[in-house]
């Protein structure tokens, strides 16, 4: 099967993550994620892949054994089954031979993918571009990754003369709501020396740094009183929370930062004069600075508690870690092989830190160092999401090249 047909088939299965089900602990949050997993499993079985496990949580793991007579590192590739909840409509994908200018997504609704707004379109003149009809996501995040991985498996299955070590594909549910599938994954069932997620954007992107991410929940306990006789009695928890927020460092918020600059994000504030809950996100690339940020919040709460007679409860927790914490070295095998694969294919690496998280952050912490390779798509989580076909093919070629390089040692 050609990679285009494979990808289009996947887009026809609506796997929008279901946040309500996810919040209630249901996995997969959308039963169609299981439908997609079963379809992938059937494809792999038809290729002759024999070692396949589909768990009750809809985690699909498939292994191709090594065909070498000596040991080389084993490599895994990860993708997620769900799509984001920004749009829930079924995807009606279109393939456009792009000759420049704007692309009409939906004539009736007058929806256009405009080159004036998305200037990078100029890089794809002459390419075929897969787009939506303007009423849904495309789902290239992350079905392009699934197509690239399955396509690479088909290549090695149909070319047994190509030497390779053990290759593992793993597809997880519900990445789009807190990396739930990766957190549920038993990495002992994958058990490779290193791996790669395919969950970033345009051709050439290569990510091996992301946030160290934490959550902070503060509960401010006031003392209610009727305003007619509140003097000396009322302690307004809303104002306590406001005072705490005012003591956060100026300029260290998402709207003021970029690149590898960390921040505190005042994310949610709710309550009344008697009780107020404040939720903060903590983000930092550097591991030591991340711990300093957590300590700052703890010390600030402790200091105010001395003044306010212990009116603050604070809970700080870790959400995920920076992948680079587990790579440590620019010459780590997972980085080195990917860079060499890009070079061999004539792809210029666009190395950037991800100001967010992805499944690889969780998987790395579980023992499989896992950088992030491009899928080729643009405008994730948007009706303007699009995927140049040659970029999709390149993502699959990178997988093949990495596997081949590892086999050569």
Beta bridge partners of 280: 216, 266
Q: Residue 318: which of 355, 296, 287 has the closest Cα?
A: 287
Q: Residue 197: which of 188, 206, 185 has the closest Cα?
A: 206
What angle, rounded to 10 degrees, do the helices at 32-47 and 3-11 form? 160
Q: What are phi and psi of 72, to 5 degrees?
A: -130, 165
Catalytic: which of 43, 82, 202, 397? Answer: 82
Residue 108: Cβ within 10 Å count: 7
56 is catalytic: no
Asked if residues 362 and 183 have their Cβ atoms less than 8 Å apart, the reply is: yes
Catalytic: which of 142, 154, 175, 176? Answer: 175
33 is catalytic: no
Long-range contacts of 376-380 (CB under 8 A, 24+ apart): 376/140, 376/144, 376/201, 376/202, 376/203, 377/138, 377/140, 377/141, 377/144, 377/201, 377/202, 378/118, 378/120, 378/201, 378/202, 379/118, 380/84, 380/140, 380/141, 380/201
> Residues with catalytic annotation?
82, 175
């Amino acid at each position: 099967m050609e990679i285009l047909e494979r990808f289009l088939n996947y887009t026809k299965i609506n796997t929008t993550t279901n946040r309500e089900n996810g919040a209630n602990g249901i996995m997969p949050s959308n039963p169609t994620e299981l439908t997609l997993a079963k379809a992938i499993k059937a494809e792999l079985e038809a290729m002759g892949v024999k070692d396949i496990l589909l768990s009750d949580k809809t985690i699909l793991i498939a292994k191709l054994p090594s065909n070498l007579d000596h040991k080389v590192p084993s490599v895994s590739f990860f993708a997620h089954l769900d799509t984001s909840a920004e749009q829930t409509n079924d995807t009606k994908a279109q393939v456009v031979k792009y000759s420049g200018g704007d692309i009409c997504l939906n004539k009736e609704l007058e929806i256009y993918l405009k080159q004036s707004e998305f200037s990078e379109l100029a890089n794809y003149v002459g390419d075929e571009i897969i787009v939506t009809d303007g009423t849904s996501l495309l789902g290239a995040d992350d079905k392009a990754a699934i197509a690239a991985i399955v396509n690479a498996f088909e290549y090695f299955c149909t070319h047994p003369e190509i030497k390779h070590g053990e290759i593992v594909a793993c597809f997880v549910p519900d990445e789009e709501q807190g990396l739930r599938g990766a957190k549920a994954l038993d990495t002992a069932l994958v058990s490779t020396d290193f791996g790669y997620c395919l969950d970033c954007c345009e051709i050439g992107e290569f990510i091996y740094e992301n946030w160290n991410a934490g959550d902070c929940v503060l509960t401010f306990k006031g003392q209610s009183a009727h305003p007619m006789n509140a003097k000396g009695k009322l302690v307004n928890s809303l104002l306590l929370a406001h005072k705490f927020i005012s003591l956060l460092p100026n300029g260290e918020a998402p709207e003021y930062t970029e690149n590898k600059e960390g921040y505190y994000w005042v994310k949610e504030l709710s309550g009344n004069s008697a009780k107020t809950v404040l939720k903060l996100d903590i983000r930092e690339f550097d591991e030591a600075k991340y711990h300093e940020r957590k300590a700052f919040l703890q010390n600030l709460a402790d200091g105010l508690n001395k003044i306010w007679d212990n009116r603050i409860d604070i809970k700080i927790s870790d959400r995920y870690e920076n992948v680079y914490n587990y790579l440590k070295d620019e010459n780590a095998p997972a980085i080195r092989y990917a860079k060499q694969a890009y070079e061999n294919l004539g792809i210029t690496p666009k190395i950037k830190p991800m100001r967010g998280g992805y499944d690889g952050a969780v998987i790395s912490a579980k023992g499989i160092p896992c950088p992030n390779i491009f899928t080729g798509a643009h405008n994730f989580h948007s009706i303007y999401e699009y995927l140049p076909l040659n970029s999709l093919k390149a993502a699959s070629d990178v997988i093949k090249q990495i596997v081949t390089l590892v086999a050569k040692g």
